[in-house]
């Protein structure tokens, strides 16, 4: 056996909330063979298997009676390059933001709006990560996943993944598919997405009139650093709640009561509301109960000021959800996976 097993290991370094719970067993898988070893070992020990990446989308509410398998595979490969379009493949364990920076250094555009998102490549399709007008599905070319039920490898196309807003087949069939590699369609002549006002404003303030993909990435990194705490300094999982989708009629009712409602009409007729605006308007920004709190600059971010437990953070989230439902008639949905 090549897997190195650890018993009763603290998961504090492996979740960005910094919640201190223990894993019954823990191992890091560096290749496909070790992934299969982990699956077999969990079955032999009669334990569930919990697969994690960077731990940036987890809320751990207690010790984990499972084999926790961290995806640690690394590798970035160019599969095709016609001088303009480039097909890139990255292993699931590659950290996301360093991959974005690597592509930009190679003169490749497409991932710049997704800069500074925490986590790993393998976790990105689970949530169909998105930011500043771009989602993973917009640059997605395919992925390779292991079917934990049959042990077979399967190749997934864009259509196969059933991507939706912060959602995918892999999230809906949690526990079945283990993503090993992801492929991206990138370009040496990127079509820059500058739809979001703060991005355009930052570029204008910098005097950049003809931005490059690198310029967009730097602008987005600056904006995110101004609003979002660094998990290395203050435990958090980024945006804690999804931006809720409501009917046009409900959005209109809310706007009649709140003229400054932040809302974005969608192609299907629904309206996406800014969860951060709702939470801020309800007075939760900067709230703190012990070491569990809401960030003082971004109401969408729950934070661990030091020794908050996962249960305390979850309780705070539930209080916020109940308040938003009462005040606005809107149901908020958590982004992190509750374990």
From the list 34, 37, 239, 281, the catalytic residue is 239
Residue 166 is among the residues annotated as catalytic for this protein: yes
Residues 146 and 38: beta-carbon distance below 8 Å: no
User: What is the DSSP code string of 92-149?
Assistant: TTSBHHHHHHHHHHTT-BSSGGGTT--SBTTTHHHHT-EETTEEGGGTEEEEEEEETT
From the list 34, 94, 135, 335, the catalytic residue is 335
Name beta bridge partners: 26: 6, 68
Residue 8 gets the label, from left (phi > 0), alpha (psi -120 to 50) or beta, of left
Residues 186 and 100: beta-carbon distance below 8 Å: no
**Rounded to the nearest 10 degrees, what angle do helices 213-227 and 96-105 cross at?**
150
From the list 36, 166, 176, 200, the catalytic residue is 166
Q: Which of 41, 1, 2, 36 is nearest to 25 (CA)?
A: 41
Q: Number of helices (H) and strands (E), helices first, in the chain?
A: 10, 20
Residue 239 is among the residues annotated as catalytic for this protein: yes
Alpha-carbon gap, residue 230 to 201, rounded angstroms? 23
Residues 20 and 310: beta-carbon distance below 8 Å: no
Alpha-carbon gap, residue 26 to 188, rounded angstroms? 41
Residues 294 and 300: beta-carbon distance below 8 Å: no
Looking up tokens 């890091």 gives 28
- Kindly list the catalytic residues: 166, 239, 335
């Amino acid at each position: 056996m090549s897997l190195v097993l650890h018993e009763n290991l603290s998961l504090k370094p492996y979740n960005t909330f910094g919640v201190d719970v223990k894993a019954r067993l823990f191992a890091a898988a560096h290749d496909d063979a070790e992934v299969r070893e982990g699956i077999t070992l969990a079955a032999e020990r009669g334990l569930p298997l919990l697969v994690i990446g960077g731990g940036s989308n987890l809320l751990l509410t207690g010790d984990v009676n499972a084999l926790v398998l961290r995806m640690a595979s690394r590798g970035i490969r160019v599969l095709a390059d016609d001088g303009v379009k480039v097909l890139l493949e990255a292993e699931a364990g590659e950290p996301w933001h360093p991959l974005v920076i690597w592509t930009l250094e190679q003169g490749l555009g497409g991932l710049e709006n997704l800069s500074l998102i925490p986590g790993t490549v393998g976790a990105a399709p689970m949530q169909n990560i998105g930011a500043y007008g771009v989602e993973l599905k917009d640059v997605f070319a395919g992925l390779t996943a292991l079917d934990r039920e049959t042990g077979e490898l399967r190749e997934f196309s864009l259509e196969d993944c059933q991507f939706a807003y912060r959602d995918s087949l892999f999230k809906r069939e949690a526990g079945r598919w283990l993503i090993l590699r992801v492929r991206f369609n990138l370009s040496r002549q990127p079509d820059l997405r500058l739809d979001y006002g703060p991005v355009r404003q930052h570029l204008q303030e910098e005097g950049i009139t003809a931005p490059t993909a690198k310029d967009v990435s730097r602008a987005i990194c600056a904006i995110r650093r101004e609003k979002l705490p660094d998990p290395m300094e203050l435990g958090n999982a980024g945006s804690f709640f999804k931006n809720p989708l409501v009917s046009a009629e409900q959005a209109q009712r809310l706007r009649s009561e709140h003229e400054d409602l932040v809302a974005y009409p969608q192609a299907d007729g629904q309206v996406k509301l800014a969860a951060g605006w709702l939470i801020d308007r309800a007075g939760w920004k900067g709230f703190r109960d012990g070491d569990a709190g809401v960030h003082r600059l971004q109401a969408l971010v729950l934070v661990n000021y030091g020794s908050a437990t996962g249960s305390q953070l979850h309780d705070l989230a539930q209080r916020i959800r109940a308040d938003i439902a009462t005040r606005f008639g809107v149901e908020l949905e958590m982004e992190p996976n509750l374990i």
